[in-house]
Chain A
Amino acid sequence: MNFEELFWAIQVLVGIGLLTSAIAAIRFKNLVSAVIAMAVFSLILSLEFYVLQAPDVAIAEAGVGAGLTTAMYLLAIKNTTDEEVIE
């Protein structure tokens, strides 16, 4: 396997992972599970930027997605209730 085939294999895997984690982040009823799924989404999006030869954008996405967004969402959930309210 040469490098081009590896590139396209990574592209296919990243696409499947992005779609799956996004659907999971929408569909999860527990809010902490949804935040964890969104952290995974940010991780795979950072990997996509990385594979597309933009390491500075990948660093920015990693900082915002892994550090800032997860911490802020968890602080917000800690001050409210845990479960999603379904009428």
Chain B
Amino acid sequence: MTVNGVFIGAMILLLFSAMLTLIRLLAGPTIPDRAVALDSMTTTTAGAMVLYGVITRQAVFIDVALVYAVLSYIATLYIARYLVKKRVGIAERPEGEAS
């Protein structure tokens, strides 16, 4: 098995875990589940982007992964600030209140 084959196998595993995270995003009952699924999926896809840039040997592709990691951090920060302000996903909540 060559080095390129190892990289391709790791990238297949990363894409498979991204698909599993997509299932959690579809089935997650509460909003914090979906926010965590979005954050995990962006991190996994940034890693897959770096591996794709390594496989194709083009250094420009690494910059896209860097930019996407920073911007997804900003998006997750906005969603978390909204959830804290609206008190969504806090543990002790009155019964019967819809999420």
Bound complex: CA A83 to CA B42 (Å): 26
Instruction: Give chain B residues whose Cβ lies under 8 Å from the Cβ of A32.
Output: 31, 79, 82-83, 88
**Once the chains bind, are A63 and B79 in contact (CB under 8 Å)?**
no
Query: With an 8 A cutoff between CB atoms, is A26 at the interface?
Result: no
For the complex formed, measure the closest distance between the CB of A38 and the CB atoms of chain B, giving whole angstroms.
Answer: 10
Interface residues on A, range: 35 or more
Given contacts A32-B31, A36-B25, contact A1 B79 (CB under 8 A): no
Residue from B35, B72, B99 within 8 A of A43 (CB atoms): B72
Instruction: Give chain A residues whose Cβ lies under 8 Å from the Cβ of B60.
Output: 55
Given contacts A21-B22, A32-B31, A36-B25, contact A66 B61 (CB under 8 A): no
Bound complex: CA A32 to CA B45 (Å): 22
Query: With an 8 A cutoff between CB atoms, is B54 at the interface?
Result: no
* Interface residue tally for chain B (C-beta within 8 Å): 43
Instruction: Give chain A residues whose Cβ lies under 8 Å from the Cβ of B61.
Output: 50, 55
Instruction: Give chain B residues whose Cβ lies under 8 Å from the Cβ of A47.
Output: 45, 48-49
13 contacts between A and B (CB under 8 A): A1-B12, A3-B8, A3-B56, A20-B26, A33-B31, A40-B22, A43-B42, A50-B52, A50-B61, A67-B71, A71-B78, A77-B82, A82-B86
Q: CB within 8 Å of A: which residues of B?
A: 4-5, 8, 11-12, 15, 18-19, 22, 25-26, 31, 34-35, 37-38, 41-42, 45, 48-49, 52, 55-56, 60-61, 63-64, 67-68, 71-72, 74-75, 78-79, 82-83, 85-86, 88, 98-99
User: Given A36-B31, A66-B71, 15 more contacts at CB 8 Å?
Assistant: A6-B8, A17-B19, A17-B22, A21-B25, A36-B37, A39-B38, A43-B41, A43-B42, A43-B45, A43-B68, A47-B49, A55-B60, A70-B78, A74-B78, A83-B98
